[in-house]
Amino acid sequence: MNTAMKEFEAAGQSDRRLAKRLDEIALALVLIMTGALWLAPKAMFPEGTWLLGAGLIVLGLNAIRRLRGLKMSGFGIVVGLVALAAGIGRILGQELPIIPVLLIVFGVGLVIRTVARGRRSSGMPDAS
């Protein structure tokens, strides 16, 4: 195996280790936030604070991944945005229809992925 290939594999392992560390830090932050919110008096934080915090943590994780040159999670971004919107909605006293919105978003995503895959396999140029 040549030196360039070994360096490429080492860089891939380093990226995987960094991605795993970032995921573990994000999970630890969610656990710390959950425990702190359970211990805090109910009147201290408005309903929806956990969703808001979880959304910010997931979106922050993806932002750090982007800054470090790692692959972001499309699913994580969608979940983070939905949690953020739901948290803000609850804090403002507005219940958002989260399940129907998620079903629509996932359905649209499946259609787009299927159409894009069909274009690539038929040899048509991709629009993006």
The count of C-alpha atoms lying within 13 angstroms of the C-alpha of 47, restricted to the half-sphere facing its C-beta, is 6
Question: CA 98, CA 84: separation in Å to the nearest integer?
Answer: 11
Structure-token match 């787009």, residue found: 112
pLDDT at 56: 96
* In contact, 95 and 56? CB cutoff 8 Å: no
* In contact, 81 and 59? CB cutoff 8 Å: yes
Q: How many helices (H) and strands (E) in the chain?
A: 4, 0
Q: Where are the domains of the chain?
A: 3-96
* In contact, 55 and 89? CB cutoff 8 Å: no
Rounded to two decimals, what is the model's pTM?
0.71
pLDDT at 5: 53
pLDDT at 4: 54
Each residue's pLDDT expressed in tens, for the chain with a length of 128 residues: 565 555 555 556 788 899 999 999 999 999 999 999 999 998 999 999 999 999 999 999 999 999 999 988 888 888 899 899 989 999 999 887 878 888 888 888 889 889 888 877 766 555 54
* In contact, 91 and 52? CB cutoff 8 Å: yes
pLDDT at 100: 86
pLDDT at 11: 59
